[in-house]
Structure 1
Amino acid sequence: MDTGTHVVMGLALGGLATLDPVVGGSTATAASVMIGTIIGSQIPDIDTILKLKNNAAYIRNHRGITHSIPAVILWPLLIIAVIYPFFPGSDLLHLWLWTFFAVFLHVFVDIFNAYGTQALRPFSSKWVALGMINTFDPFIFGIHIFGLFIWVFGMDPGYTFLGIYGILIIYYFFRFLAKRAVYKSVMSIIPDATEIIISPTMRYNQWRVAAKNEDKFFVGRAVKGRVRIVDRFKRIPIPNNPIINAAKQDKNLSAFLSFSPVYRWEIETIENMYEIRFIDLRYRSNEYYPFVAVVHLTKDLEIINSYTGWIFSEEKLKKKLDIITN
């Protein structure tokens, strides 16, 4: 989920914790638990700092080890080590329980996004992405804001958020049914599909679709359960040639390939260089595919520049590559 949603979820868990008699009966425990749930709901995304380094490092590592099983166990212990000295009278066990729940819930809800997490590390490095909930879901964010609002005006926070999370469980179930309906529709259009990736959008009834069979890639959009295929591309295996092999040594392209499951590729000769472009097919928006990796090579197959990330126009891509070059 996005940062804002994780923040309001941390506050909500602090309110929900008041149903715990140990938390509700101790001011010190209640205060420490509130701080613990707020920090715990944010700490797995500390790897966002990798954006300051470069996009390749961010793409390859975001929601990786910081969302893994060992991290979910260790984050609460680190948080408590910082918080507890300021609230020595708080109940250590219940502080740990609620902080752990905040960290676990952060990772758990991220699994339902299209981006996913490597939540099964170290047992598997596979990305777990159920693709049911958009990174920012207006309903989830809005119902948390509503709960916080009525808490401020005197409603009991524990029962308020207990009710809200009951509603959200039902909401997730309906999102599961909606995605399954889209999947069935895609299968009716592409019965020989070998892989189907369905990604939610901010609109409840709209989904992005990327699929493939043995011969083609398909890109589509689902609106109210009805699927329309808008692009088709012939599947051409990545050649084992010196140009591609040289490009694969680039960190940006390597990061892209570690992250993207459905893409097409292009090679162009531009003046005295080669341009190798890989295009992720999952995120088509306004007839454009914004998530790409581009590598420029000299005729001697030396890397001139490269870029991976979100670009919504060719002009911006050229500027990014010029900045990297300079």
Structure 2
Amino acid sequence: MDPVTHLAVGALGGQALRKPLRRDKHVLVFCLLAAWLPDIDNFIGILGPEFYLIHHRGLTHSFLGAILLAALFVWIFRWFVPSFSFIRGFVLVYLLIALHIFLDLITSYGTQIFFPFTNARYAVTSVFIIDPIYTLVMLFCMYRSAKYLKTRKTLALLGLAWVFIYPAFNLGVRYGLEYYLEQRFVREGVAFNAFDVSTDVLSPFFWKVIVDQGDAYQLGGVNVFKLRQPLTFTRYEKADNNLFREFGQISSLFATYHWFFDFPIMRTEQIEKETLITFGDLRFATAAPFLQHQRNNDQLPFTLTMVLDEQQKPVRYQYQRRGREQVVLLIE
């Protein structure tokens, strides 16, 4: 989830705890920092893309890691506010970190909540990574709770309740769509091994549908207000697992990508004398009509490209994270 939403939850937590006519601002600062704290692992990106993919949303986003993180944070915070209770502070930080983990768990990116026992990523996809409806309601409750001191706690608690109500509603919509689409695919003779309904830019009104057809994926979108409209799909070639294994022997980054991706796709293109094989994940694609230009896998947030020479020998590979400079690595 985006940083603004995490901070909004922290502010709501601080407003719920502060007493109406007191100026204990350190509680609000404490809650804001605690709510953002697990994302401190973003700084590991300086150690390279592979380290980032493996460890972001890892230890600091796990239930066990949260114990260590909460204890360390309260210990440091007490340097500045010695009167702050360690036990109460620890419980509060752990709860706010748990809320942070929850907010990341409801997105499609996945979170290693049981690390270090397993590095499996879990997701209960119900909210898009940036959801204006979700965040604006929280910000509204936060603003009103700051403005009206006598009802501060009630308004803040309503905002915290919204943290759970909205994803639960979206999850119900998602499950309803899955049932509807399964019936419709059977009725219309759409071939599929499996399919997945996931959040998109306009969820809960617009949802992404990924249909597994064996050797390919089909990506489409469904509008909950226009369910009778014909479904249109874009075909993507599935990534070749053998290529992942072959390239993984050259660089472990390809093996990491294979672990990280849920719906791996690939595109092969010829540029002059070189062959480029680009891998991406439809988990990060969009089917929103006004974002059609992002349907190519070179527009996805995380892509990895192997470049082959005329003899089909790997000569370099390129990692691209959207919004960042492309990383090019030569093969010796």
Give, as a single letter, the amino acid of the residue that structure 1 aligns with 2:281. Answer: D
- Identify the residue that residue 86 of structure 1 maps to in structure 2: 80
Give, as a single letter, the amino acid of the residue that structure 2 aligns with 1:265. Answer: M
Q: Show the 5 A alignment for 1:279-290.
A: 279-282=280-283, 283-284=285-286, 285-286=291-292, 287-289=295-297, 290=299
Distance 1:263 1:184 in 2: 25
- Identify the residue that residue 305 of structure 2 maps to in structure 1: 294
- Identify the residue that residue 9 of structure 1 maps to in structure 2: 9
Q: State the aligned residue count.
A: 310
Distance 2:164 2:271 in 1: 53
**How much does 1:179 deviate?**
0.8
Match of 2:318 among 290, 294, 306: 306
Give, as a single letter, the amino acid of the residue that structure 2 aligns with 1:253. Answer: F
Question: Closer, same or farther in 2 for the Cα pair 1:167/1:102, shift >3 Å?
Answer: closer
**How much does 1:110 deviate?**
0.8
- Say what the alpha-carbon RMSD is for the aligned residues: 3.1
Give, as a single letter, the amino acid of the residue that structure 2 aligns with 1:297. Answer: L
The answer to whether the 8 Å contact 2:265/2:280 transfers is yes
Distance 1:244 1:274 in 2: 18
- Identify the residue that residue 39 of structure 2 maps to in structure 1: 45
- Identify the residue that residue 185 of structure 1 maps to in structure 2: 180
Give, as a single letter, the amino acid of the residue that structure 2 aligns with 1:304. Answer: R
**How much does 1:80 deviate?**
0.5
Distance 1:160 1:233 in 2: 47
**How much does 1:170 deviate?**
2.7
Identity over aligned residues, as a percent? 19
The answer to whether the 8 Å contact 1:250/1:295 transfers is no
- Structure 1: where are the runs of 5+ without partners? 19-23
- Identify the residue that residue 34 of structure 1 maps to in structure 2: 28
**How much does 1:320 deviate?**
3.4
**How much does 1:178 deviate?**
0.9
**How much does 1:105 deviate?**
0.6
- After alignment, is 272-281 or 228-237 more displaced? 228-237
**How much does 1:81 deviate?**
0.8
- After alignment, is 281-290 or 79-88 more displaced? 281-290
Give, as a single letter, the amino acid of the residue that structure 2 aligns with 1:209. Answer: V
Distance 1:168 1:107 in 2: 12
2:230 is the alignment partner of 1:200: no
2:161 is the alignment partner of 1:160: no
Deviations 1:182-220 (A, max 9, x none): 212332344574443332123230111213144542211
Give, as a single letter, the amino acid of the residue that structure 1 aligns with 2:296. Answer: Y
Please, what TM-score do these two structures have when normalized by structure 1?
0.82
The answer to whether the 8 Å contact 1:244/1:276 transfers is no
Deviations 1:265-287 (A, max 9, x none): 24445444332221322313414
- Identify the residue that residue 222 of structure 1 maps to in structure 2: 222
**How much does 1:41 deviate?**
0.9
The answer to whether the 8 Å contact 1:76/1:99 transfers is yes
Deviations 1:12-59 (A, max 9, x none): 1111123xxxxx49979x545433321211111112123334433323
The answer to whether the 8 Å contact 2:63/2:114 transfers is yes
Distance 2:73 2:319 in 1: 36
The answer to whether the 8 Å contact 2:141/2:158 transfers is no
- Identify the residue that residue 68 of structure 1 maps to in structure 2: 62
Distance 1:81 1:249 in 2: 44
The answer to whether the 8 Å contact 1:235/1:264 transfers is yes
Question: Closer, same or farther in 2 for the Cα pair 1:27/1:84, shift >3 Å?
Answer: farther
Give, as a single letter, the amino acid of the residue that structure 2 aligns with 1:231. Answer: T
Distance 1:137 1:164 in 2: 15
Give, as a single letter, the amino acid of the residue that structure 2 aligns with 1:301. Answer: K
The answer to whether the 8 Å contact 1:218/1:229 transfers is no
